[in-house]
Structure 1
Amino acid sequence: MSNITQNKFSNFYIFMTFLRLGCIAFGGPAAHIVLFHNYLIKKLSWLDEQEYFKVLALAQIIPGPTSSQVGITLGYLKNGYSGAFCAWLGFTLPSAILMAGAAWLGQYFFENLNLYFFHIIQLIVLAVVFWAFWQMLRSLCHHVWQYIVMLFSAVFIYAVPLSANQIIVILLAALLGLLLAQEKPKQNEVKNTQFQLKSSKAYLWLILFALPFLLFPILNHVHPSLFIQAFAGFYRSASLVFGGGHIVLPLLHQDFVATGLISNEKFDLGYAIAQLMPGPLFSFASYLGALLPFTSSILINASLATIMIYLPSFVLVFGTLPYWSWLMQQQKIYKAIQGINAAVVGLLLCLIIQMTEKYIVQWLDVVFVMMVILLLKTKLPVWLTLIASFMSYYFYLNNFVMP
């Protein structure tokens, strides 16, 4: 048995540790990874550096929110399934409560907001998505064939109105990756791999991961309901996210806005608010769930949606962690992910094109979006950048444009 699993922590300690991190984890997944490293590894010595980077490597090759999956894995290594749940709950709870609260308040104030308010929110979302696209393009696309896949993905999704077009694109991109990507450079094998855990039936988790993709279409055909439709949307979106939390936006947009379950204005407002919150971006689902009438309780609805979108992460971590050594040696997985990365950048590019068509109505809007992007490139806090930008343009439109 490895020394990781011998050094157990109480569930309460794991929960409180990640709750503290969840309250201060601003800046997105990259910042979360650094925060975990500085606090859990350097300060508290939960794992050594080498072990932590193994956890990070695993979280990066499976779909889902990287920082949340790192937290789930750390909790699991410290106290099994209950430790994984407590780590996730602590890290997710602050942002989930704030996002559900924003949706609840929106029910009372949404109708009183003028058109300029929503127009500026949409422009801010466009700027944030463009900045995320640029960052992902630079970090995930390194070869000519990846740029071609990215452009093909964007054009296909834009031009072909199929409900499964995003899944088709990702599968095709994975196939192209297998054919065109270079193999991962071989590295010296690390001795004493800590993730050779005793779990002879871990493959059952992977079967469980795949089952919803087979069952949801059948259930929705036999007994269509909002709950099944939403569960399928959240689960499918979370299962296809590679490359960063922002890629969940076009997936959720297709499942909830394009289908008419949530208005475009409310969706964009929630996404803009999510940029100001600490913790994982996936807690945007808490906001969406609060707007969906599963039950008469906003709290229950938000909780259900939050569980739905994170469920694939738990199943994948439990199913893949015992096979860490094997997964890290598979060149086909590495090559397929190169293609998938290019495709998800294409999803964001398509979303930018669609947003630009709808949101840009005058040349000042272009200037405003460019200004927000430039501010995002600075070291100013994101919340300060977005709030200051919003207030400045809102003041201008209300005082110099509004008749």
Structure 2
Amino acid sequence: MTTQHAGTAGEVFVAFLKLGLTSFGGPVAHLGFFRTAFVERRRWLDEAAYADLVALCQFLPGPASSQVGIAIGKQRAGYPGAIAAFVAFTLPSVVLLLAVASGAALLGGPLAAGALHGLKVAALAVVAQAVWAMARTLTPDTARRGVALAAGLIALVLPSPVTQVTIIALAALAGLARPVAGPDLPLRPPTRGDLFWLIGFLALLAGLPLLALGGDPAVGLIDRMYRIGALVFGGGHVVLPLLEADFVAPGLIGRDAFLAGYGAAQAVPGPLFAFAAYVGALQTGPPNGLAGALLALSAIYLPSFLLVFATLDWWQGLRTNRRLRHGLDLANAAVVGLLLAALIDPLLLDTVGGWTDLAWAAAALVLLVRRVSPPLVVLLSAATGVTTALASGLG
């Protein structure tokens, strides 16, 4: 399948800005929101193509949900679309976190806790709907259902970013081993453009530490953020402790300020990687403030852009090869299993504290199944959380 640019960067920006304002719940929930917005509602791509993008971005280091957004933006409107998708999806969380960094707002108290709980309940419902819909499409036979269940079980027993990558890789290899009837299409080698982005990724990974030896604090900030973005698997929940090790331990940001921002990052919509902007803004020395925020944010996301640009078009070409199609079919089934595991742990275990929460999540799921707008369901769930907290306080 060749990449088609059927839209405009402005169209992509508007679509992703809505998601950036309403996508609470972390990377797993984001994938559910993306699926609803771009597979079900706008039909920019079909279920299998979306699952292929998720599988690709699970292989790549960095924030998988943001990478899926970048890939969707590029397929829709080329390189401008990729940038528009990233900026629009990330901007709301960056603005909110910088407001916290400037002291304009600090999230706390029972009402804020109630709202956050409501958002987590909504995220649980969104992911449950996505897992069900993807399972119906991507696990139509016994073999693929078995792969999905096995992947989910292994992910629950051995929770680790390395486990996720290994599961997808093993599923893909099992699919590749299946026999293909008749001759198959030859594989297209990477183009010069693909290699250009890949070489750029590797050159920066090797070269920035050498440049940082010069002692320039701006280069040091870029080096630390680029290295984290280039080497971490598992998304925001993994990158936050790494940021703490790289910035709190050496005294580049105060521990109290870091922890306050960590709490805020759990409550704002959009990607958790946006927390890098908060860290860059609150460095004890320059570059800090807005300049530090922009440098940190750009550096931690740059590896994602380079890797998506290096692999996306080649990946689409690989999808047309029948043997590789078998591999992708099982990899997609494994992705369903991984999403199911994430639905159980952490979303279900961290969110549901009793029958009331379970009924609440079920009601949100019913609204989504009846095609009530996901942003509206999110807002209603947050309002329910605030109301519940207020009633508890009065009682």
Query: Which TM class, normalised by the smaller chain length?
Result: 0.5 to 0.7
Work out the CA distance in 1 between the residues paired with 2:128 and 2:314: 33
Does residue 97 of the first structure (1) align with residue 91 of the second (2)? Answer: yes
Cα deviation digits, residues 257-308 of structure 1 (max 9, x gap): 89986565323202xx33xxxxxxx5x5335523554542246515642563
Does residue 353 of the first structure (1) align with residue 348 of the second (2)? Answer: no
- Aligned with residue 88 of structure 1, among 69, 73, 82: 82
Q: Which residue in 1 is equivalent to 2:278?
A: 290
Aligned partners of 2:121 and 2:357 also within 8 Å: no
The percent identity for this pair of structures is 9
Q: CA deviation at 1:147?
A: 0.7
- Aligned with residue 263 of structure 2, among 254, 262, 265: 265
- Aligned with residue 148 of structure 2, among 143, 146, 149: 146
Residues 285/18 of structure 1: CA separation in 2 closer, same or farther (3 Å cut): same
Work out the CA distance in 2 between the residues paired with 1:236 and 1:337: 27
Residues 127/111 of structure 1: CA separation in 2 closer, same or farther (3 Å cut): same
- Aligned with residue 389 of structure 1, among 377, 381, 386: 381
Residues 332/170 of structure 1: CA separation in 2 closer, same or farther (3 Å cut): same
Residues 219/363 of structure 1: CA separation in 2 closer, same or farther (3 Å cut): farther
Q: CA deviation at 1:34?
A: 6.6
Q: TM-score by structure 1 length?
A: 0.63
Paired residues, number: 348
Q: Which residue in 2 is equivalent to 1:66?
A: 68
Q: CA deviation at 1:121?
A: 0.8
Work out the CA distance in 2 between the residues paired with 1:218 and 1:169: 32
Secondary structure in structure 2 of the residue aligned to 1:28: helix
Residues 331/110 of structure 1: CA separation in 2 closer, same or farther (3 Å cut): farther
Q: CA deviation at 1:134?
A: 5.0
Q: Which residue in 2 is equivalent to 1:312?
A: 304
Q: Which runs of 5+ in 2 are unaligned?
A: 23-32, 58-63, 249-257
Q: TM-score by structure 2 length?
A: 0.64
Q: CA deviation at 1:335?
A: 1.6
Residues 341/15 of structure 1: CA separation in 2 closer, same or farther (3 Å cut): same
Aligned partners of 2:190 and 2:314 also within 8 Å: yes
Work out the CA distance in 2 between the residues paired with 1:376 and 1:179: 35
Q: Which amino acid aligns with 2:372?
A: L
Residues 229/153 of structure 1: CA separation in 2 closer, same or farther (3 Å cut): farther
Work out the CA distance in 2 between the residues paired with 1:368 and 1:217: 50
- Aligned with residue 116 of structure 2, among 121, 127, 132: 121
Secondary structure in structure 2 of the residue aligned to 1:91: helix
Q: Which amino acid aligns with 2:91?
A: I
Q: Which residue in 2 is equivalent to 1:44?
A: none
